[in-house]
Structure 1
Amino acid sequence: MVLAENVSKVFMGSKVLDNVDLRIERGDRIAMMGPNGAGKTTLVRAMLGFYHIDSGKISVDGHDPVKNRVEVLKNISFIPQLPPPVKLSIDELLLYIERSSGVSRAKIFEEAGRMDLDLQKHISKPFFKLSGGMKQKLLIAIALSKKSDLLIFDEPTANLDPKGREKFYDLLTEIDAECSTLFITHRLDEIEGLVNRKIYMDLGKVVEDEKV
Protein backbone atom coordinates (compact mmCIF):
# COMPACT_ATOMS: atom_id res chain seq x y z
CA MET A 1 0.00 0.00 0.00
CA VAL A 2 2.69 2.49 1.04
CA LEU A 3 6.31 2.44 -0.01
CA ALA A 4 8.89 4.95 1.23
CA GLU A 5 12.44 4.66 -0.10
CA ASN A 6 15.42 6.70 1.15
CA VAL A 7 13.13 9.55 2.22
CA SER A 8 14.81 12.64 3.62
CA LYS A 9 13.38 15.97 4.74
CA VAL A 10 15.11 19.03 6.17
CA PHE A 11 13.38 21.75 8.23
CA MET A 12 15.28 24.90 9.25
CA GLY A 13 18.62 23.21 8.67
CA SER A 14 17.74 20.10 10.69
CA LYS A 15 17.25 16.71 9.02
CA VAL A 16 13.92 15.48 10.41
CA LEU A 17 13.79 12.46 8.08
CA ASP A 18 17.07 10.72 7.34
CA ASN A 19 16.94 8.16 4.49
CA VAL A 20 13.81 6.45 5.80
CA ASP A 21 12.69 3.16 4.26
CA LEU A 22 9.21 1.88 5.10
CA ARG A 23 6.71 -0.49 3.53
CA ILE A 24 3.08 -0.81 4.68
CA GLU A 25 1.15 -3.81 3.36
CA ARG A 26 -2.58 -4.48 3.42
CA GLY A 27 -3.66 -5.74 6.82
CA ASP A 28 -0.67 -4.27 8.66
CA ARG A 29 -1.63 -2.92 12.08
CA ILE A 30 1.28 -0.72 13.07
CA ALA A 31 2.22 1.05 16.29
CA MET A 32 4.72 3.80 15.43
CA MET A 33 6.61 5.05 18.46
CA GLY A 34 9.51 7.30 19.33
CA PRO A 35 10.32 10.51 21.21
CA ASN A 36 8.99 13.91 20.17
CA GLY A 37 10.93 15.14 17.16
CA ALA A 38 11.76 11.62 15.94
CA GLY A 39 10.10 12.30 12.56
CA LYS A 40 6.93 10.23 12.98
CA THR A 41 4.37 12.92 12.13
CA THR A 42 6.59 14.39 9.41
CA LEU A 43 6.77 10.99 7.70
CA VAL A 44 2.99 10.56 7.86
CA ARG A 45 2.36 14.05 6.52
CA ALA A 46 4.74 13.35 3.65
CA MET A 47 2.76 10.17 2.92
CA LEU A 48 -0.40 12.29 2.78
CA GLY A 49 1.15 14.85 0.46
CA PHE A 50 1.17 17.65 3.06
CA TYR A 51 4.96 17.97 2.78
CA HIS A 52 7.32 17.79 -0.19
CA ILE A 53 10.28 15.55 0.57
CA ASP A 54 13.83 16.66 -0.29
CA SER A 55 15.01 13.30 -1.61
CA GLY A 56 13.84 9.73 -1.99
CA LYS A 57 10.45 8.48 -3.08
CA ILE A 58 7.01 7.84 -1.56
CA SER A 59 4.16 6.04 -3.30
CA VAL A 60 0.69 5.19 -2.01
CA ASP A 61 -1.11 2.54 -4.04
CA GLY A 62 1.32 3.42 -6.81
CA HIS A 63 0.53 7.16 -6.68
CA ASP A 64 2.78 10.08 -5.82
CA PRO A 65 1.10 11.70 -2.76
CA VAL A 66 1.98 15.24 -3.94
CA LYS A 67 1.24 14.94 -7.66
CA ASN A 68 -1.82 12.68 -7.18
CA ARG A 69 -2.96 13.86 -3.78
CA VAL A 70 -6.70 13.71 -4.47
CA GLU A 71 -6.41 10.09 -5.61
CA VAL A 72 -4.26 9.16 -2.60
CA LEU A 73 -6.56 10.76 -0.03
CA LYS A 74 -9.62 8.97 -1.42
CA ASN A 75 -8.56 5.79 0.36
CA ILE A 76 -6.97 7.19 3.52
CA SER A 77 -8.50 8.50 6.74
CA PHE A 78 -6.26 10.64 8.97
CA ILE A 79 -6.94 11.80 12.51
CA PRO A 80 -4.41 14.46 13.60
CA GLN A 81 -3.20 14.88 17.15
CA LEU A 82 -4.52 18.45 17.22
CA PRO A 83 -7.97 18.92 15.64
CA PRO A 84 -7.94 21.68 12.98
CA PRO A 85 -9.59 25.04 13.85
CA VAL A 86 -12.52 24.52 11.48
CA LYS A 87 -15.04 27.40 11.67
CA LEU A 88 -17.84 25.55 9.91
CA SER A 89 -20.82 24.46 11.98
CA ILE A 90 -21.22 20.72 12.52
CA ASP A 91 -24.08 20.76 10.02
CA GLU A 92 -21.94 22.53 7.40
CA LEU A 93 -18.99 20.24 8.08
CA LEU A 94 -21.09 17.11 7.62
CA LEU A 95 -22.52 18.51 4.37
CA TYR A 96 -19.01 19.17 3.09
CA ILE A 97 -17.89 15.64 4.00
CA GLU A 98 -20.95 14.09 2.35
CA ARG A 99 -20.28 15.96 -0.90
CA SER A 100 -16.48 15.63 -0.98
CA SER A 101 -16.07 12.06 0.27
CA GLY A 102 -19.43 10.43 -0.33
CA VAL A 103 -19.68 9.48 3.33
CA SER A 104 -23.21 9.10 4.65
CA ARG A 105 -24.29 11.60 7.31
CA ALA A 106 -26.39 8.86 8.88
CA LYS A 107 -23.29 6.65 9.22
CA ILE A 108 -21.34 9.45 10.90
CA PHE A 109 -24.23 9.99 13.33
CA GLU A 110 -24.23 6.25 14.04
CA GLU A 111 -20.49 6.05 14.73
CA ALA A 112 -20.57 9.22 16.85
CA GLY A 113 -23.45 7.80 18.87
CA ARG A 114 -21.43 4.69 19.60
CA MET A 115 -18.86 6.98 21.21
CA ASP A 116 -21.57 8.75 23.25
CA LEU A 117 -21.46 11.92 21.13
CA ASP A 118 -24.90 13.38 20.39
CA LEU A 119 -24.29 15.27 17.15
CA GLN A 120 -27.87 16.49 16.81
CA LYS A 121 -27.56 18.32 20.11
CA HIS A 122 -24.58 20.30 18.77
CA ILE A 123 -25.49 20.43 15.07
CA SER A 124 -25.47 24.26 14.87
CA LYS A 125 -22.26 24.79 16.86
CA PRO A 126 -19.00 25.68 15.09
CA PHE A 127 -16.60 22.76 15.16
CA PHE A 128 -13.86 24.81 16.82
CA LYS A 129 -16.13 25.56 19.81
CA LEU A 130 -16.56 21.90 20.73
CA SER A 131 -14.53 20.51 23.61
CA GLY A 132 -11.32 18.69 22.76
CA GLY A 133 -12.89 15.32 23.48
CA MET A 134 -15.95 16.04 21.34
CA LYS A 135 -13.79 17.17 18.40
CA GLN A 136 -11.75 13.99 18.64
CA LYS A 137 -14.86 11.79 18.78
CA LEU A 138 -16.31 13.48 15.70
CA LEU A 139 -13.06 13.08 13.75
CA ILE A 140 -12.92 9.40 14.75
CA ALA A 141 -16.55 8.92 13.69
CA ILE A 142 -15.83 10.49 10.29
CA ALA A 143 -12.69 8.38 9.79
CA LEU A 144 -14.43 5.11 10.66
CA SER A 145 -17.46 5.98 8.51
CA LYS A 146 -15.31 6.45 5.41
CA LYS A 147 -14.24 2.77 5.22
CA SER A 148 -10.75 3.63 3.98
CA ASP A 149 -7.99 1.21 3.01
CA LEU A 150 -5.60 2.94 5.41
CA LEU A 151 -6.43 4.56 8.75
CA ILE A 152 -3.78 6.82 10.28
CA PHE A 153 -4.19 7.95 13.88
CA ASP A 154 -1.78 10.49 15.40
CA GLU A 155 -2.27 10.12 19.18
CA PRO A 156 -6.03 9.62 18.61
CA THR A 157 -6.95 9.24 22.28
CA ALA A 158 -5.01 12.26 23.57
CA ASN A 159 -8.23 14.21 24.28
CA LEU A 160 -10.42 11.29 25.31
CA ASP A 161 -11.33 10.29 28.84
CA PRO A 162 -10.85 6.61 29.87
CA LYS A 163 -14.41 5.67 28.85
CA GLY A 164 -13.97 7.35 25.46
CA ARG A 165 -10.69 5.51 24.89
CA GLU A 166 -12.33 2.20 25.75
CA LYS A 167 -15.16 2.78 23.28
CA PHE A 168 -12.70 3.88 20.59
CA TYR A 169 -10.65 0.69 20.93
CA ASP A 170 -13.82 -1.40 20.87
CA LEU A 171 -14.73 0.15 17.50
CA LEU A 172 -11.28 -0.64 16.14
CA THR A 173 -11.78 -4.35 16.73
CA GLU A 174 -14.49 -4.23 14.03
CA ILE A 175 -12.27 -2.85 11.27
CA ASP A 176 -12.01 -5.05 8.17
CA ALA A 177 -8.97 -7.37 8.26
CA GLU A 178 -7.80 -6.02 4.88
CA CYS A 179 -7.69 -2.45 6.19
CA SER A 180 -4.27 -1.19 7.33
CA THR A 181 -3.92 0.96 10.44
CA LEU A 182 -1.06 3.13 11.61
CA PHE A 183 -1.06 4.47 15.17
CA ILE A 184 1.42 7.15 16.18
CA THR A 185 1.28 6.60 19.91
CA HIS A 186 2.94 6.77 23.30
CA ARG A 187 0.33 4.37 24.72
CA LEU A 188 1.51 1.00 23.43
CA ASP A 189 -0.08 -0.80 26.37
CA GLU A 190 -3.53 0.34 25.21
CA ILE A 191 -3.23 -0.84 21.60
CA GLU A 192 -0.95 -3.87 22.00
CA GLY A 193 -3.81 -6.24 21.24
CA LEU A 194 -4.71 -4.31 18.07
CA VAL A 195 -1.32 -4.28 16.31
CA ASN A 196 0.80 -6.87 14.54
CA ARG A 197 3.86 -4.71 13.96
CA LYS A 198 5.90 -2.18 15.96
CA ILE A 199 8.05 0.56 14.45
CA TYR A 200 10.33 2.76 16.53
CA MET A 201 11.77 6.01 15.13
CA ASP A 202 14.49 8.24 16.51
CA LEU A 203 16.47 11.14 15.02
CA GLY A 204 14.61 10.86 11.73
CA LYS A 205 15.38 7.17 11.22
CA VAL A 206 13.50 3.89 11.57
CA VAL A 207 15.65 2.15 14.19
CA GLU A 208 13.35 -0.80 14.90
CA ASP A 209 10.68 -2.56 12.82
CA GLU A 210 9.36 -5.90 14.01
CA LYS A 211 6.33 -8.15 13.72
CA VAL A 212 4.48 -8.98 16.94
Structure 2
Amino acid sequence: MMTNLFSTFDPSTNLNLSFNWMSTFLGLMILPSMYWIIPSRINSLWMKISLTLHKEFKILLNINKMKGTTLLFISLFSMIMFNNFLGLFPYIFTSTSHLSLTLSLALPLWLSFMIFGWINNTIHMLAHLVPQGTPPALMPFMVCIETISNIIRPGTLAIRLAANMIAGHLLMTLLGNTGSSLTITMLNLLIITQILLLILESAVAIIQSYVFAILSTLYSSEVN
Protein backbone atom coordinates (compact mmCIF):
# COMPACT_ATOMS: atom_id res chain seq x y z
CA MET A 1 0.00 0.00 0.00
CA MET A 2 2.72 2.47 0.99
CA THR A 3 4.73 1.62 -2.14
CA ASN A 4 1.74 2.38 -4.35
CA LEU A 5 1.06 5.55 -2.37
CA PHE A 6 4.51 7.04 -2.92
CA SER A 7 4.79 5.72 -6.49
CA THR A 8 2.71 8.71 -7.65
CA PHE A 9 5.78 10.85 -6.94
CA ASP A 10 8.24 8.61 -8.83
CA PRO A 11 10.20 10.34 -11.63
CA SER A 12 9.10 7.98 -14.41
CA THR A 13 7.53 8.50 -17.84
CA ASN A 14 6.00 6.26 -20.49
CA LEU A 15 9.05 6.68 -22.74
CA ASN A 16 11.44 5.48 -19.98
CA LEU A 17 13.12 8.88 -20.17
CA SER A 18 13.03 11.29 -17.23
CA PHE A 19 11.61 14.24 -19.15
CA ASN A 20 9.79 15.33 -15.99
CA TRP A 21 13.13 16.42 -14.47
CA MET A 22 13.03 19.24 -17.04
CA SER A 23 10.43 20.85 -14.75
CA THR A 24 13.40 22.08 -12.70
CA PHE A 25 14.04 24.68 -15.42
CA LEU A 26 10.40 25.58 -16.08
CA GLY A 27 10.65 28.46 -13.60
CA LEU A 28 12.46 30.56 -16.19
CA MET A 29 9.83 29.76 -18.84
CA ILE A 30 6.74 30.67 -16.80
CA LEU A 31 8.08 34.07 -15.74
CA PRO A 32 5.89 36.72 -17.38
CA SER A 33 7.46 38.94 -20.01
CA MET A 34 6.96 41.95 -17.73
CA TYR A 35 9.65 40.51 -15.45
CA TRP A 36 12.32 41.12 -18.08
CA ILE A 37 11.18 44.70 -18.77
CA ILE A 38 12.95 47.25 -16.56
CA PRO A 39 11.34 48.99 -14.79
CA SER A 40 8.15 47.00 -14.24
CA ARG A 41 6.12 46.13 -11.15
CA ILE A 42 7.11 42.47 -11.17
CA ASN A 43 10.77 43.31 -11.67
CA SER A 44 10.67 45.95 -8.93
CA LEU A 45 9.02 43.48 -6.53
CA TRP A 46 11.68 40.84 -7.18
CA MET A 47 14.47 43.40 -6.82
CA LYS A 48 13.08 44.39 -3.41
CA ILE A 49 12.97 40.74 -2.34
CA SER A 50 16.54 40.20 -3.57
CA LEU A 51 17.77 43.35 -1.81
CA THR A 52 16.13 42.29 1.47
CA LEU A 53 17.73 38.84 1.23
CA HIS A 54 21.08 40.43 0.33
CA LYS A 55 21.03 42.62 3.45
CA GLU A 56 20.11 39.69 5.70
CA PHE A 57 22.68 37.29 4.22
CA LYS A 58 25.35 40.01 4.33
CA ILE A 59 24.85 40.40 8.10
CA LEU A 60 25.11 36.64 8.63
CA LEU A 61 28.16 36.21 6.39
CA ASN A 62 29.89 39.30 7.82
CA ILE A 63 31.96 39.71 4.64
CA ASN A 64 32.70 43.21 3.41
CA LYS A 65 35.58 42.62 0.99
CA MET A 66 34.08 39.81 -1.13
CA LYS A 67 31.26 41.48 -3.04
CA GLY A 68 28.60 39.30 -4.62
CA THR A 69 28.96 36.46 -2.10
CA THR A 70 25.26 36.65 -1.23
CA LEU A 71 24.30 36.12 -4.90
CA LEU A 72 24.93 32.37 -4.52
CA PHE A 73 22.42 32.05 -1.69
CA ILE A 74 19.84 34.36 -3.32
CA SER A 75 20.04 32.23 -6.49
CA LEU A 76 19.65 29.08 -4.38
CA PHE A 77 16.57 30.56 -2.69
CA SER A 78 15.07 31.54 -6.06
CA MET A 79 15.62 28.14 -7.65
CA ILE A 80 14.14 26.18 -4.74
CA MET A 81 11.16 28.53 -4.41
CA PHE A 82 10.35 28.32 -8.15
CA ASN A 83 10.45 24.52 -8.03
CA ASN A 84 8.36 24.39 -4.87
CA PHE A 85 5.68 26.59 -6.45
CA LEU A 86 5.72 24.64 -9.72
CA GLY A 87 4.91 21.48 -7.78
CA LEU A 88 1.60 23.05 -6.69
CA PHE A 89 0.36 23.14 -10.29
CA PRO A 90 -1.49 20.03 -11.56
CA TYR A 91 0.52 17.49 -13.57
CA ILE A 92 3.87 19.23 -12.96
CA PHE A 93 6.62 17.11 -11.44
CA THR A 94 7.90 18.35 -8.05
CA SER A 95 11.65 17.89 -8.27
CA THR A 96 12.35 19.34 -4.80
CA SER A 97 10.42 16.50 -3.14
CA HIS A 98 13.17 14.04 -4.15
CA LEU A 99 16.42 13.50 -2.31
CA SER A 100 18.30 13.17 -5.59
CA LEU A 101 17.86 16.92 -6.15
CA THR A 102 17.93 18.24 -2.58
CA LEU A 103 21.01 16.19 -1.67
CA SER A 104 22.68 17.34 -4.90
CA LEU A 105 22.23 20.92 -3.68
CA ALA A 106 23.14 20.40 -0.01
CA LEU A 107 26.12 18.04 -0.29
CA PRO A 108 28.38 20.10 -2.64
CA LEU A 109 27.65 23.27 -0.64
CA TRP A 110 28.52 21.63 2.70
CA LEU A 111 31.57 19.87 1.24
CA SER A 112 32.96 23.08 -0.27
CA PHE A 113 32.47 24.91 3.04
CA MET A 114 34.26 22.14 4.95
CA ILE A 115 37.20 21.97 2.51
CA PHE A 116 37.58 25.75 2.55
CA GLY A 117 37.38 25.89 6.36
CA TRP A 118 39.81 23.05 7.08
CA ILE A 119 42.38 24.35 4.57
CA ASN A 120 42.26 28.07 5.41
CA ASN A 121 41.02 28.19 9.02
CA THR A 122 42.18 24.92 10.56
CA ILE A 123 42.60 26.29 14.10
CA HIS A 124 39.16 27.91 13.94
CA MET A 125 37.54 24.66 12.77
CA LEU A 126 39.24 22.68 15.54
CA ALA A 127 38.10 25.21 18.12
CA HIS A 128 34.49 24.73 16.93
CA LEU A 129 34.62 21.08 17.96
CA VAL A 130 34.85 22.05 21.65
CA PRO A 131 32.37 24.75 22.73
CA GLN A 132 33.63 27.41 25.10
CA GLY A 133 33.24 26.52 28.79
CA THR A 134 33.19 22.74 28.27
CA PRO A 135 34.65 20.82 31.27
CA PRO A 136 37.89 18.92 30.43
CA ALA A 137 36.26 15.57 31.25
CA LEU A 138 33.54 16.11 28.62
CA MET A 139 35.82 17.35 25.84
CA PRO A 140 36.29 13.95 24.08
CA PHE A 141 32.52 13.39 24.05
CA MET A 142 31.86 16.94 22.77
CA VAL A 143 34.32 16.39 19.90
CA CYS A 144 32.42 13.22 18.88
CA ILE A 145 29.02 14.93 19.19
CA GLU A 146 30.10 18.04 17.25
CA THR A 147 31.72 15.91 14.54
CA ILE A 148 28.57 13.82 14.07
CA SER A 149 26.33 16.90 14.05
CA ASN A 150 28.60 18.45 11.43
CA ILE A 151 28.59 15.37 9.20
CA ILE A 152 24.79 14.99 9.17
CA ARG A 153 24.18 18.61 8.16
CA PRO A 154 23.77 17.99 4.40
CA GLY A 155 21.42 15.08 5.18
CA THR A 156 19.23 17.19 7.46
CA LEU A 157 19.12 20.00 4.88
CA ALA A 158 18.09 17.63 2.10
CA ILE A 159 15.60 15.55 4.11
CA ARG A 160 13.94 18.63 5.66
CA LEU A 161 13.17 20.13 2.25
CA ALA A 162 12.10 16.87 0.59
CA ALA A 163 9.95 15.70 3.53
CA ASN A 164 8.14 19.01 3.89
CA MET A 165 7.37 19.20 0.19
CA ILE A 166 6.16 15.62 -0.19
CA ALA A 167 4.10 15.65 3.03
CA GLY A 168 1.72 18.36 1.85
CA HIS A 169 1.43 16.87 -1.64
CA LEU A 170 0.69 13.46 -0.15
CA LEU A 171 -2.04 14.85 2.12
CA MET A 172 -3.69 16.69 -0.80
CA THR A 173 -3.49 13.55 -2.96
CA LEU A 174 -5.09 11.37 -0.26
CA LEU A 175 -7.90 13.86 0.35
CA GLY A 176 -8.46 14.37 -3.37
CA ASN A 177 -8.83 10.63 -4.02
CA THR A 178 -11.79 10.44 -1.61
CA GLY A 179 -13.83 12.99 -3.59
CA SER A 180 -15.62 10.47 -5.81
CA SER A 181 -17.23 8.68 -2.83
CA LEU A 182 -18.49 11.76 -0.95
CA THR A 183 -21.85 13.50 -0.84
CA ILE A 184 -22.37 17.03 -2.18
CA THR A 185 -22.09 18.59 1.29
CA MET A 186 -18.89 16.73 2.12
CA LEU A 187 -17.53 17.48 -1.34
CA ASN A 188 -17.95 21.22 -0.78
CA LEU A 189 -16.19 20.85 2.57
CA LEU A 190 -13.40 18.91 0.86
CA ILE A 191 -12.93 21.65 -1.75
CA ILE A 192 -12.64 24.31 0.98
CA THR A 193 -10.14 22.11 2.83
CA GLN A 194 -8.09 21.62 -0.34
CA ILE A 195 -8.01 25.38 -0.97
CA LEU A 196 -6.81 26.00 2.59
CA LEU A 197 -4.18 23.29 2.19
CA LEU A 198 -3.06 24.89 -1.07
CA ILE A 199 -2.59 28.24 0.70
CA LEU A 200 -0.64 26.45 3.45
CA GLU A 201 1.54 24.70 0.87
CA SER A 202 2.25 28.05 -0.82
CA ALA A 203 3.52 29.36 2.52
CA VAL A 204 5.56 26.18 3.07
CA ALA A 205 7.11 26.58 -0.41
CA ILE A 206 8.47 30.01 0.53
CA ILE A 207 9.45 29.08 4.10
CA GLN A 208 11.35 25.93 3.12
CA SER A 209 13.33 27.69 0.39
CA TYR A 210 14.19 30.44 2.88
CA VAL A 211 15.19 27.90 5.56
CA PHE A 212 17.45 26.03 3.11
CA ALA A 213 19.16 29.25 2.01
CA ILE A 214 19.53 30.70 5.52
CA LEU A 215 20.97 27.48 6.96
CA SER A 216 23.44 27.27 4.08
CA THR A 217 24.46 30.85 4.86
CA LEU A 218 24.93 30.02 8.55
CA TYR A 219 27.07 26.98 7.71
CA SER A 220 29.16 29.20 5.42
CA SER A 221 29.63 31.87 8.09
CA GLU A 222 30.96 29.31 10.56
CA VAL A 223 34.03 28.53 8.46
CA ASN A 224 35.13 32.18 8.16
Q: Same fold (TM over 0.5)?
A: no
Which structure carries more strand by proportion? 1
Which structure carries more helix by proportion? 2
When normalised by structure 2's length, the TM-score is 0.27
Larger Rg: 2
When normalised by structure 1's length, the TM-score is 0.28
